Amino acid sequence: MANIKQALKRHRQSLKRRARNRAIKSRVKNAIKKVRLAIEARDKEMAQAALRDATSILDKAASKGVIHKKNAARRISRLTSHVNNL
């Protein structure tokens, strides 16, 4: 464990960031799972609603730096094409 004041503060900050990042990544995964389940069930209306939510969540995660913006764009694009193919 660190003894220097600044190192202790950095450690506290890293714990807060880790908790925030894990929560956001979990939300992203759950949103994507909802879209995929709706696609598998062939429910177009539910898939479109889930896609809207997932798009918002992915954009927020990218804006906060939890995932890269191109990663978010790629996931949104792939989910959108799957929903459109229903």
Which CATH number do you get for residue 79?
A: 1.20.58.110
Domain count, the chain: 1
Q: What is the pLDDT of residue 2?
A: 79
Q: What is the pTM of this model?
A: 0.88
Crossing angle of the two packed helices 44-63 and 5-40, in degrees rounded to 10: 160
Q: What is the pLDDT of residue 41?
A: 95
Measured CA to CA, the distance from residue 18 to residue 29 in angstroms comes to 16
Rounded to the nearest integer, the mean pLDDT of the chain is 96
Mean pLDDT of 2-17: 94
Residue 54's domain comprises 5-84
Mean pLDDT of 68-72: 98
**% of the chain with per-residue pLDDT over 90:** 95
For residue 1, pLDDT beyond 80? no
Structure tokens at 84: 């459109």
